[in-house]
A and B are shown apart, each in its own frame.
Chain A
Amino acid sequence: MTQLAPHHPAVSPGLWTLAWRRLRADRVAMAALAVVCLFLLSVVLAATGLVAADWEDEVAVNYAPPTFVGPDPALAALAQPQRPVPLNTFDPLAGDLVQLRAQLQAQLARQGHAAHAAKLATLPFGADKWGHDVIRKTIKGGQTSIVVGLVAAFVAVALGTLFGALSGFYGGRVDDLFNWFYSVFTAIPSILMVLTVAAVLQTKGVLTIVLILGLTGWTGPYRLIRAEYIKHKAREYVLAADAIGASGWRKMFVHIFPNVSHVALVQMSILVVGFIKAEVILSFLGFGVPVGVVSWGSMLNEAQNELILGKWWQLTAAATAMALLVTAFSLFADALRDALDPKLK
């Protein structure tokens, strides 16, 4: 007797498995993913305090140049203990000056400022105005910018998905209402919307930026998710769910959502890039993170004035880190879209 066919039918790979296979085959995408993961790792390490927690230590002299440039002779003098200026013997106050100097030295020594001499003349990638290590500062700044980008994109996609699901699934009046919302929000250019909301919300803070970006950025995901729900709500599996008495919410989010979640994911990966850029601009203008929190935007703001003094390293560090992340994230988002929706090109 011939052997029976195996009892289990061959399991056909699902959407996510197929997409992952396509993504794996794409070398650029994998390289981009590796870079993104590296940045995310640095965010996690910075957030838990394992890395760059001490970025505010003034470890070097002000504006210490990068090691490969070599110490700045004008600044290196600061790193040396100061040699007293020879006294002018004709100065009637010379005696007082000697006394004052001795007092000052004693006072500095008591306050532990003698450590001034121990400050480094150079750092691997230089120091800012206060002698903070630029590398650690860039990591800490990246933490702010990336977290804002990710959380804001999540808020925007969650809102867009909720609105899009309700609108597409129920149609009729509900659809009209959300379409009206959509047309109102898209009539105002997004950058103007962001600035307007920034003007209204007087409080500065990381949460404020997340809210500004999240509450104004839902329109893109909304449009696509709504179209997906309109397409899916008439499919047989939804009718079957209806037949067994599933509620509207259950059909929308348990049955349909897993089938449209790839759209949400792609939208989110696209929004993250835009929101990181937006956060940098907002923080640069001073509408973003509060004083005392470092982000790539606030670093660029400082770097703008430093550049005129010829101190280019903070600008280079923040700009390079951001360009690297955003390039990798955009390439990955493109590849993700291609992998999840092979019909699109």
Chain B
Amino acid sequence: MFAYILRRLWQMLPTMAGVVVLVFVLFNWVGGDPSYLLAGKMADARAIANIRAQLGLDDPWYVQLGIFVKQIATFDFGNAWATGEPVSHIIQSRLGPSLTVLVPLTVLETTIGIALALAIAFVRGSLTDRLVMVACTVGMSISILVYIIVFQYGLAYKLGLFPVQGWGEHFTENLLRYATLPILIGLAVSLAPTLRLFRSFVLDEVGQDYVRTARAKGLPERRIVWVHVLRNAAIPIITYVMANLPALLIGAFLLERFFGIPGIGREVILAVERSDFPVIKAITVYVAFATMVFNLLADLMYQAVDPRVQLT
């Protein structure tokens, strides 16, 4: 087990290196010269030369790449260009609000998704099943923007059931007051694709021999569904949920932006708007690393779910 983890981490190195190089190439060669952005409108040659020297843009590329790698390793990306706030502090302080929305959202989405998928899969082919699937397709076709705009206007602005936007100091206040509507909207948006996917995972299982055997043994249907099928459908579900967690951190950027939640996603949007390269670079690299680590965690969880899986 330990050897397996070590080997997997070792195998991640080329991918990590690739991510670092990709981000480096994007920002240092594909993107324009940031010193013109930083110098502002009334830039003279001296100011630009000064900024170039400060950013190390006059150094050869391998020195710049070395600096970038060192920044990643030491979590020190310097200060954000737009606000002067240290990038590491930005990431740390924005993580909490993001997770306040994302953890309840993921838990609710997964549990409701699994329950509905199991219920739907056992009436597959029926009118209910087809109607639910059509409803899912239609629901997925409406832009997330429309959900947010309409719900924010209707439920928060018109009916006043929730605050239109805002964020407080205390966790419970944030969770119960400010995060509720974003979580509900996130659920409305993500449930349809999740249900469709989980349904296909469950459908792959219900035709298997062990289900027929379980039925032949006279097990109650409820036990077959919730114990036998669920355990086998759990592997693709875990893969999906785990692999998507880091992406969700960014994926909720629209919710965070509309509701004024100071999270990672909103920070990315702000950074793109302000061309604040250090912030985007840092978030991209760390989210990519997190994605790889979560993929490994998903593989480790397989063994807990399915004793047949041998991680060697």
Contacts and interface: CB of A to CB of B under 8 A. Distances in A.
A192 B153 contact: no
Nearest to B16: A187
B149 A192 contact: no
Interface string B274-296: 01010010011001110110000
Nearest to A183: B15
A277 B143 contact: yes
Contact of B247 (A180, A191, A198, A201): A191
A199 B280 contact: yes
Contact of A287 (B137, B250, B272): B272
Contact of A199 (B141, B144, B257, B275): B275
Interface stretch (A12-20, A220-228, A321-329): A321-329
A187 B19 contact: yes
A200 B26 contact: yes
A304 interface: yes
B149 A181 contact: no
B224 interface: no
A327 B138 contact: yes
A185 B292 CA distance: 11
A304 B283 contact: no
A192 B26 contact: no
Contacts of B45: none
Interface in B250-290: 250-251, 253-254, 257, 268-269, 271-273, 275, 277, 280, 283-284, 287-289
Interface in A174-208: 180-181, 183-185, 187-193, 195-202
Contacts of A41: none
A184 B18 CA distance: 6
Contacts of B257: 285
Interface string B153-172: 10001000000000000000
Interface in A300-318: 300, 303-304, 307-308, 315
B176 interface: no
Contacts of A330: 137, 140-141
B216 interface: no
Nearest to B31: A200
B137 A327 contact: yes
B32 interface: yes
A307 B258 CA distance: 14
A100 B247 CA distance: 63
Interface in B118-139: 137-138
B113 interface: no
Contacts of A315: 146, 149-150
A281 interface: yes
Specify which of B150, B257, B272 lies most central, judged by the most chain A CB atoms within 10 Å of its CB: B272
B19 A307 contact: no
> Helix, strand, loop or mixed for chain A's interface?
helix
B143 A280 contact: yes
Interface in B171-218: 203
A331 B137 contact: yes
Contacts of A193: 284
A319 interface: yes
Specify which of A191, A192, A319 lies most central, judged by the most chain B CB atoms within 10 Å of its CB: A192
B1 interface: no
Contact of A181 (B18, B23, B141, B203): B18
B142 to A, nearest CB: 5
A248 interface: no
Contact of A187 (B142, B268, B292): B292
A181 to B, nearest CB: 7
Contacts of B289: 187
Contacts of B269: 195, 285
Interface in B1-47: 14-16, 18-19, 22-23, 26-27, 30-32
Nearest to A190: B247
Contacts of B16: 187
A324 B137 CA distance: 11
Contacts of B19: 184, 187-188
B247 A189 contact: yes
B254 A189 contact: no
15 contacts: A180-B14, A188-B291, A192-B268, A192-B283, A196-B26, A196-B284, A200-B31, A280-B143, A281-B144, A286-B273, A300-B149, A304-B149, A308-B153, A326-B141, A327-B137
Given A189-B250, A330-B140, 13 more contacts: A184-B18, A187-B19, A189-B246, A196-B280, A200-B26, A200-B30, A202-B32, A297-B145, A300-B146, A304-B149, A307-B150, A322-B141, A322-B143
> Which 8 residue pairs spanning A and B have beta carbons closest together?
A189-B247, A184-B18, A326-B141, A200-B31, A327-B141, A199-B272, A187-B288, A319-B146
